[in-house]
Structure formats: structure tokens, C-alpha cells
């Protein structure tokens, strides 16, 4: 496939700017904060704390998203946040795909910009979520099959091959690169999208990585990991799957 043509018409530049700026601002809407205010008036999701298993330590939630909400308000509230976060990326991405069906770049940029808004929301001092729901929202439009196949393949890869919880949780994002390369016959635009998703997610995880390193230095890494996983429904499901495959947290 040829590389991206640098001779872009003026109108196309305007549409690219619209897709990027518009979806970034939509992605910046923090449904975690809004749902928390509605579900539990007076509570602030940014003040929620996660316990470190088996210790008296607690730390404030680092990413403001569905998992943070579900850790305190329960799975129903977390599910509402997750669905809304998916839709806020899915709908604008779908509109750009339908209106400009011959120019996939618009939808791809919309999905990436929406994810950036979710992670670094302009309305909330650039403190947002990790981006899982945002990735799914865009991916369901760009390649809905990838949204089904890659998470399952990544889970099996992590649990059966590498026997590692981190790989089981994150490898589906890594698999997007070869998957979209195969699905699009090596279309540069889609490969760049997959790479951008991974880079953005790594950047979003920096605060959690720093916290994990801190507890590892204190000899509490396993306790930190267990507390994190047990605090939300997704994490508890991962623990049950790990127990089934006899995978240890390490």
C-alpha cells in the first residue's frame, strides 16, 4: 500500500481538524464523574480509594473510569459508565465512517482523538481514564470483529502461553497491530491507528506503573495487584480465570 499522500485538499484538512477537535471534546466528557454524582450525590470519584490487600495501605484511584466507579458504587454503576464511554467514541467515529466512507482516515482520527479526550479530558484538568472503553468504542466501528477476537486471543495468550496476568490483560491491544495489518492488507493508516492506540494506552498507564513500582520496592507488589484486581468486577473475573488456568500473580 502507498504511504499517505501529503497533497491534501483544503477541505480535507478542515474535515480532519473537525474530526480531531470535535471527537476530542466529546471524548473529554467524564461519564465516571457524571454517573457518580447521579448515583451517589455528594461523592467524588477522584477521592475513591483502593486497598492494598492484607495491609492498611490505601491509595486514591489513578484513572477515572468505569473500574474506578464500580470499585465503590458496584458493578451496575460501573457498567453504565462503561457503556456510555464506549458510545461517546463509537457514535462520532461511526458518523465519520458513514459520511466519508471512502476516506477511512477521518474515522480513524476520530477514534484516536476521542481516546485522547477520554484519557486527558480538557474539562477535568486532563485527568481521565485508562482508555479501555474508549478503544472498544472506536474499534467496534473500525473493525468490530477485532473487538471480539483480539481480547479473547490476548486472554488465552496470557493465561496459557505466558501464564502472566499482565500479558493476559494487555496483549489484546498488542495484537491489534498484526490483526489490522492482516485484515487491511497492510494499509498504513490502520497500522498507524493500532500503534497509536498502544502508545496512548501506555502513556495513560504511567501513573499506575509508577504506583506498581513503588509497591514493588516496598515488597508489596502482589498485595497491590490483588487489591487492584479485587476492587472491581473485571479484575475479579480475571482472578477467577487465572485460578481456572492456575496462573499466579507475580
The domain ranges of the chain are 10-245
Compute the distance between CA of residue 221 and CA of residue 210 in angstroms, rounded to an integer: 12
Q: How confident is the model at residue 192 (pLDDT cuts 50, 70, 90)?
A: very high
What is the model's pTM? 0.91
Across 219-247, b (16+ Cβ under 10 Å) vs e yields ebbbbbbbbbbebbbbbeebbebbeeeeb
Angle formed at CA 189 by CA 188 and CA 192, multiple of 5 degrees: 85
Contact between 220 and 150 under an 8 Å Cβ cutoff? The reply is no
Percent of the chain at pLDDT > 90 equals: 81
- The predicted-structure confidence for 38-75, as pLDDT tens digits, reads as follows 999 989 999 989 999 999 999 999 899 999 999 889 99
Q: Is 81 helix (H, G, I), strand (E, B) or coil?
A: helix
Q: How confident is the model at residue 233 (pLDDT cuts 50, 70, 90)?
A: confident
Compute the distance between CA of residue 220 and CA of residue 195 in angstroms, rounded to an integer: 32
Compute the distance between CA of residue 92 and CA of residue 164 in angstroms, rounded to an integer: 36
Nearest Cα neighbor of 129 from 30, 231, 238 is 30
Q: What are phi and psi of 51, to 5 degrees?
A: -80, 150
* Residues counted in the chain: 250
Per-residue pLDDT at 32: 97
C-alpha cell at 146: 477485532
Across 155-186, b (16+ Cβ under 10 Å) vs e yields bebbbeeeebbebbbbbbbbbbbebbeebbee
- The predicted-structure confidence for 123-141, as pLDDT tens digits, reads as follows 999 999 999 999 999 999 9
Q: How confident is the model at residue 28 (pLDDT cuts 50, 70, 90)?
A: very high
What's the Cα-to-Cα distance from 245 to each of 218, 223, 225, 238, rounded to whole Å? 29, 20, 18, 11
Angle formed at CA 208 by CA 207 and CA 211, multiple of 5 degrees: 90
Amino acid at each position: 500500500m502507498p504511504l499517505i499522500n501529503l497533497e491534501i485538499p483544503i477541505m480535507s484538512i478542515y474535515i480532519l481538524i473537525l474530526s480531531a477537535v470535535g471527537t476530542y471534546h466529546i471524548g473529554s466528557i467524564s461519564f465516571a464523574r457524571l454517573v457518580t454524582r447521579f448515583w451517589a450525590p455528594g461523592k467524588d470519584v477522584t477521592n475513591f480509594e483502593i486497598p492494598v490487600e492484607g495491609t492498611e495501605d490505601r491509595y486514591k484511584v489513578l484513572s477515572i473510569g468505569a473500574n474506578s466507579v464500580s470499585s465503590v458504587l458496584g458493578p451496575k454503576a460501573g457498567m453504565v459508565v462503561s457503556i456510555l464511554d464506549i458510545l461517546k467514541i463509537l457514535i462520532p467515529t461511526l458518523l465519520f465512517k458513514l459520511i466519508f466512507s471512502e476516506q477511512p482516515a477521518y474515522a480513524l482520527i476520530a477514534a484516536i482523538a476521542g481516546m485522547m479526550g477520554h484519557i486527558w479530558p480538557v474539562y477535568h484538568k486532563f485527568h481521565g481514564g485508562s482508555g479501555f472503553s474508549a478503544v472498544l468504542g472506536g474499534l467496534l466501528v473500525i473493525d468490530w470483529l477485532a473487538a471480539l477476537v483480539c481480547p479473547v486471543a490476548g486472554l488465552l495468550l496470557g493465561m496459557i502461553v505466558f501464564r502472566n496476568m499482565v500479558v493476559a490483560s494487555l496483549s489484546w491491544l498488542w495484537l491489534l497491530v498484526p490483526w489490522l495489518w492482516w485484515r487491511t492488507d497492510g494499509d498504513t493508516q490502520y497500522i498507524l491507528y493500532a500503534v497509536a492506540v498502544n502508545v496512548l494506552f501506555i502513556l495513560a498507564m504511567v501513573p499506575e506503573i509508577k504506583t506498581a513500582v513503588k509497591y514493588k520496592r516496598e515488597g508489596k507488589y502482589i498485595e497491590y495487584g490483588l487489591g487492584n484486581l479485587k476492587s472491581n468486577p473485571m479484575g475479579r473475573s480475571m482472578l477467577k480465570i487465572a485460578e481456572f488456568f492456575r496462573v499466579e500473580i507475580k
